[in-house]
Structure formats: structure tokens, C-alpha cells
């Protein structure tokens, strides 16, 4: 038997094939788009803190990944036998095929999204939280753009799988590419030539899509985005209780008997602390003494087991018999607390300027020019104005941390919280960040700084607090620190570190 080239070429213009190709592309695209959207919701549900929701998503994914598509297709197509009211929709092969494909593909696409969501660093969630971003905004502007970038190659792959799976829909007599071919070769017996044509049409659909996908991928690739420059030795608790502080002054933050356990480990043991306006408080102490936990409870990045926290004298966080509660206006007021993290947590898909503009814009400032001007002022304040258009991956650690400080300042916070802002930096970059923080003290900013930089702490602090085993063991102002006996724990600690 000879291969009939003329017949093959004639199939290139066969209208039924082109109609079937359009149908396959449309069915594939619809399945992919709907499945991707639903899959994202299932991926979120799988990570939900609500157990029934998590369970539902897990069961769905398990069930529909186990079920062969062919079985599902025939099942859906024949469902009207039991539920005649579904007949008008499900007896149309296209709709029955679409529904079966979407049900099945949603399960796979959910897992792809989950991989993307898991890949986004926890710090991104924390940075969004610290800027007072609500969950929907957080996913929309911060998490999703990053997760999708990771998931995109696998999502694209799944489209190809879907296009190929559409051939199964021929069993419920949808006139897709394979069925058109089958109808031809059962009449003319030119099986091989016809199947070559069938293959061509599938390859065509997949290639066109892959082309657009690779362009989208490179557009979303952030690594390619670049921007040019334009006293008594302590026993358990301090002999000096913190409640003597802030006499006649405005109290910004007050912790009242705050307790936090991690299992058996007591991270905060009924800590009380007042920080008054304009005060610079350094928190020092050995690793694991509860410094990070303390600072994170203030903006609710860490929940507490017992105690009360007030912000500006107003109820802020409370825990006790009734459980853990934050103020109802939490997302509005949390922006009064600026937070700077050890690992910066800049948003990698935004330029330095966009990182700084994000918070105010999210909170309703729509005037682009004003936003930009204000953001540039904050960048200038940290000495980063020339790097405004650069992406985080183009910057050094010290520069990133300065941007992170500018991002927090952009919300005009009343108090800045720093958790070891220089610990992740190379030694030669520590100085530039400390200088920026020191400049804030001159502006009268209220600050709580967890740090291991003892000389810095001594130079800038109005008060130094030392923690050990979840307790505040020393709380001294600058004069008291000077007068503290040379053999006191706090002096020793400050000298040895």
C-alpha cells in the first residue's frame, strides 16, 4: 500500500477538521480556565483552618483523581436518565464533555495551585499582615502573583493534557478531531494518512497555546525584570517593675501579663511592659528567651494564651477564658505598628517604589502622584531614592532592609517594631541599616528593637530590656544602665555579645 500524500494534503483544508480543531481549542480552553479558577479555590480550601472545608477539598481531590475520565464522561452524559431535568444540558455532548472535564481537571489543577501556594514564603503572609492587608487583598496582590508564577509551567502542561483528553469526548459523539478522523477512515480505509492529519491538528492547537504561554511566563519572570537607578542582679523578675515607666507620658503600647506557651515551653511568662511615646526600647537577651515572641504578639503575628495588650490606651488584643481576640478594627489600626523583619520580606514582584507605595495604596489612597511623591520621600529618608525602580533581587541585603524600613514608614506608624533587623546581613552591611534606624530615633519615632548589636543598643536606646526564659529580667533606662554594677547580668551580657 502506498502512502497517499495527495489525500493527506487535502485534509489540511478539510473544513470538518478545522471546525473540530476550533471545538477542541475552545473546549480545552474553557476547561482549563474554569478548572484553574475552581482549582485555586480547592487549593485554598485544602489549606483552610476550617476542618470540614479541608476535608471536603481533600475528599474531592482524592475521588476525582482516582476516577477515570472516560467513566466520568459516560456517567455525566447518561445522568439525564435519572434526572430528566438535566437533559437539555447534559445530552449536548459539548456541555457533558465540558462538565466531566472540569470536574476531573479541577482536582489536578488544585494540586498544582497548592504547590504554588506552598512555595510562597511565610514571610510574605507576615509582611501583608503587618501592613494591615485583609485576606482577599493579600491573596490578590501578594500571594497569587507569586504562586501563579511557580505554578504556571505545570498549569500549561495541564492544558496540553486537557487538549489530548478531549479526544475521549468522542465516546459521547462530540465531533472533535479524532471523531472526524474516525468517520473518514471508516469510509475510505486510509487510516494512517488520516491519523497523521489528526495528529497534525492536535499538535497545532498545543503549539499555538504553548507559544502564548511561554510569552506569558517570560513576562511574569521577575528575575528578568530589571529597573535602573534613577540594676540588682536579677533573679526571676526585674526588681524594677515596668509600671513605673511612662509617668505623665502617653502610653503607646502596654502589655499586661502576657503569656505564651509553645507546648510545654514557656516563651512568655506573664510579661508586662509599657512603652511610651517617643521612647526607644531595645530588647536583648540570649537566643530563645522570647524576644521575637514578645514583639510579634504586639501586632498579632503571634497569638497569646493569656493577658491583654492595649494600643494607644485602647483595647487591642485580649486572651483568657474566652479565647484569643483582636480588636474588631484590627486591620485599620495595625498600620499604626510598623514592622521590620529579620529577613526583610519585601514583595519580590514589585519594585522598591511599588513595595513602599503598596500599603498606602491598599488602604485607599488613589492619588498616584501623591503616593509616588510620598514614597520617594520615604526612600530618600533611607538613602534609597536612586534605587526606586529596582526589584528586590537587584539589591543587597542592607539595601533591601532599608526598603523594608521605608515600606513600614510609608504607613506613618506611631511605633516601629524591629526584630533583629541586621542579623541576616553581612557584617559590612550592618552599619548602613543601623544608621537609618538611628536617624529615626532623632526624629522622635517610638521604637522597640530586638537586637544583638550591643553598642548600637547602648547608643540609641532610652531603655534596655533584657529577657531570659520568657521573663523580663532587667528593664533599665540609659542612666541606670550606666550605673549598673559591672558584674550585673545585663552589663555582662552586653559586654560578652
Among ligand ADP, Mg ion, none, residue 288 binds (CB under 5-8 Å by kind): ligand ADP
Work out how close the CB of 474 gets to ligand ADP at its nearest, in angstroms, rounded to a whole number. 14
Q: Residues for the chain: how many in total?
A: 497
Work out how close the CB of 121 gets to Mg ion at its nearest, in angstroms, rounded to a whole number. 17
Q: Dmax of the chain from CA atoms?
A: 105
Work out how close the CB of 289 gets to ligand ADP at its nearest, in angstroms, rounded to a whole number. 4
Work out how close the CB of 399 gets to ligand ADP at its nearest, in angstroms, rounded to a whole number. 25
What is the full DSSP assignment across 276-312?
ETT-EEEEE-STTSSHHHHHHHHTTSS--SEEEEEET
| Half-sphere exposure of residue 63: CA atoms within 13 angstroms, side-chain side | 8
Work out how close the CB of 416 gets to Mg ion at its nearest, in angstroms, rounded to a whole number. 17
Instruction: Cell 503549539: give the residue.
Output: 207
Among Mg ion, ligand ADP, none, residue 287 binds (CB under 5-8 Å by kind): ligand ADP
Among Mg ion, ligand ADP, none, residue 75 binds (CB under 5-8 Å by kind): none
Q: Which residues are within 8 A (CB) of 229 and not within 5 positions of it... i.e. 6 or more apart? A: 386, 387, 389, 390
Work out how close the CB of 150 gets to Mg ion at its nearest, in angstroms, rounded to a whole number. 28
Nearer to ligand ADP, 149 or 259 (CB): 259
Nearer to Mg ion, 105 or 420 (CB): 420
φ/ψ of residue 290, rounded to 5? 105, 10
C-alpha cell, 496: 560578652
φ/ψ of residue 107, rounded to 5? -65, -45
Work out how close the CB of 471 gets to ligand ADP at its nearest, in angstroms, rounded to a whole number. 11
Nearer to ligand ADP, 235 or 423 (CB): 423
Nearer to ligand ADP, 264 or 428 (CB): 264
Distance, CA of 62 to CA of 210 (rounded, Å): 29
Work out how close the CB of 420 gets to Mg ion at its nearest, in angstroms, rounded to a whole number. 6
Cα distances (angstroms) measured from residue 225 to each of 121, 211, 228: 20, 20, 10
C-alpha cell, 83: 434526572
Work out how close the CB of 255 gets to Mg ion at its nearest, in angstroms, rounded to a whole number. 17
Work out how close the CB of 341 gets to Mg ion at its nearest, in angstroms, rounded to a whole number. 11
In 312-462, at which residue ranges do the beta strands (DSSP E only) sit?
A: 314-320, 323-326, 337-340, 415-419, 446-450
Work out how close the CB of 319 gets to Mg ion at its nearest, in angstroms, rounded to a whole number. 21
Nearer to ligand ADP, 104 or 238 (CB): 238
Among ligand ADP, Mg ion, none, residue 62 binds (CB under 5-8 Å by kind): none
Nearer to ligand ADP, 121 or 221 (CB): 121
Among ligand ADP, Mg ion, none, residue 413 binds (CB under 5-8 Å by kind): none
Instruction: Cell 482549563: give the residue.
Output: 32
Collapse the DSSP code of 468 into the 3-class scheme (helix H, G, I; strand E, B; otherwise coil) and give the result: strand
**Are the CB atoms for 420 and 454 separated by under 8 Å?**
no
Q: Note the residues at the interface with ligand ADP (CB under 6 A).
A: 262, 265, 267, 285, 287-293
Nearer to ligand ADP, 47 or 188 (CB): 47
Edge-first strand order for the sheet with 323-326 is 265-276, 251-262, 306-311, 314-320, 323-326
Nearer to ligand ADP, 267 or 337 (CB): 267
Q: Note the residues at the interface with Mg ion (CB under 5 A).
A: 292
C-alpha cell, 243: 509600671
Among ligand ADP, Mg ion, none, residue 146 binds (CB under 5-8 Å by kind): none
Nearer to ligand ADP, 62 or 262 (CB): 262
Cα distances (angstroms) measured from residue 113 to each of 37, 40, 58, 125, 136: 10, 6, 14, 17, 16
Collapse the DSSP code of 138 into the 3-class scheme (helix H, G, I; strand E, B; otherwise coil) and give the result: helix
Number of other CB atoms surrounding residue 438 within 10 Å: 13
Nearer to ligand ADP, 12 or 118 (CB): 118
Distance, CA of 267 to CA of 348 (rounded, Å): 32
Collapse the DSSP code of 334 into the 3-class scheme (helix H, G, I; strand E, B; otherwise coil) and give the result: helix
Among Mg ion, ligand ADP, none, residue 262 binds (CB under 5-8 Å by kind): ligand ADP
C-alpha cell, 101: 472535564
Nearer to ligand ADP, 31 or 474 (CB): 474
Amino acid at each position: 500500500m502506498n502512502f497517499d500524500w495527495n489525500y493527506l494534503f487535502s485534509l489540511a483544508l478539510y473544513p470538518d477538521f478545522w471546525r473540530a480543531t476550533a471545538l477542541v481549542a475552545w473546549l480545552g480552553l474553557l476547561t482549563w480556565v474554569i478548572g484553574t479558577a475552581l482549582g485555586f479555590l480547592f487549593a485554598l480550601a485544602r489549606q483552610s483552618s476550617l476542618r470540614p472545608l479541608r476535608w471536603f477539598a481533600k475528599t474531592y481531590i482524592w475521588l476525582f483523581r482516582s476516577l477515570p475520565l472516560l467513566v466520568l464522561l459516560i456517567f455525566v452524559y447518561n445522568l439525564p436518565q435519572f434526572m430528566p431535568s438535566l437533559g437539555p444540558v447534559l445530552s449536548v455532548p459539548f456541555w457533558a464533555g465540558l462538565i466531566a472535564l472540569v470536574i476531573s481537571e479541577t482536582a489536578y489543577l488544585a494540586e498544582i495551585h497548592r504547590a504554588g501556594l506552598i512555595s510562597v514564603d511565610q514571610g510574605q503572609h507576615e509582611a501583608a499582615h503587618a501592613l494591615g492587608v485583609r485576606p482577599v487583598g493579600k491573596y490578590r496582590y501578594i500571594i497569587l502573583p507569586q504562586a501563579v508564577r511557580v505554578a504556571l509551567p505545570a498549569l500549561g502542561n495541564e492544558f496540553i493534557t486537557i487538549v489530548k483528553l478531549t479526544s475521549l469526548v468522542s465516546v459521547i459523539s462530540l465531533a472533535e478531531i479524532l471523531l472526524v478522523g474516525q468517520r473518514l477512515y471508516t469510509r475510505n480505509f486510509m487510516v494512517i494518512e488520516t491519523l497523521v492529519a489528526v495528529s497534525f491538528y492536535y499538535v497545532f492547537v498545543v503549539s499555538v497555546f504553548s507559544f502564548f504561554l511561554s510569552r506569558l511566563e517570560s513576562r511574569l519572570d521577575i528575575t528578568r525584570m530589571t529597573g535602573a537607578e534613577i540594676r540588682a542582679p536579677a533573679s526571676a523578675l526585674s526588681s524594677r517593675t515596668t509600671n513605673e515607666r511612662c509617668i505623665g507620658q502617653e502610653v503607646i503600647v502596654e502589655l499586661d501579663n502576657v503569656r505564651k506557651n509553645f507546648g510545654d515551653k514557656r516563651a512568655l511568662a506573664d510579661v508586662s511592659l509599657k512603652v511610651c511615646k517617643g521612647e526607644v526600647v531595645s530588647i536583648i537577651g540570649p537566643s530563645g528567651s522570647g524576644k521575637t515572641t514578645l514583639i510579634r504578639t504586639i501586632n498579632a503575628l503571634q497569638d497569646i494564651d493569656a493577658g491583654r495588650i492595649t494600643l494607644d490606651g485602647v483595647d487591642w488584643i485580649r486572651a483568657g477564658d474566652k479565647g484569643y481576640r483582636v480588636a474588631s478594627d484590627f486591620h485599620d489600626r495595625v498600620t499604626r505598628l510598623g514592622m521590620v523583619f529579620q529577613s526583610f520580606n519585601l514583595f519580590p514582584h514589585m519594585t522598591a517604589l511599588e513595595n513602599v507605595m503598596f500599603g498606602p495604596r491598599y488602604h485607599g489612597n488613589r492619588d498616584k502622584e501623591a503616593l509616588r511623591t510620598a514614597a520617594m520621600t520615604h526612600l530618600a529618608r533611607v538613602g534609597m531614592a536612586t534605587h526606586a525602580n529596582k526589584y528586590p533581587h537587584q539589591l543587597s541585603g542592607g539595601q533591601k532592609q532599608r526598603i523594608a524600613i521605608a515600606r513600614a514608614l510609608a504607613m506613618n506608624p506611631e511605633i516601629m517594631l524591629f526584630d533583629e533587623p541586621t542579623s541576616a546581613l553581612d557584617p559590612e552591611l550592618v552599619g548602613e541599616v543601623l544608621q537609618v534606624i538611628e536617624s529615626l530615633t532623632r526624629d522622635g519615632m517610638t521604637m522597640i528593637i530586638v537586637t544583638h548589636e550591643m553598642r548600637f543598643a547602648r547608643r540609641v536606646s532610652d531603655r534596655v530590656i533584657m529577657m531570659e526564659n520568657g521573663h523580663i529580667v532587667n528593664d533599665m533606662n540609659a542612666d541606670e544602665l550606666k550605673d549598673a554594677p559591672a558584674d550585673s547580668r545585663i552589663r555582662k551580657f552586653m559586654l560578652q555579645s
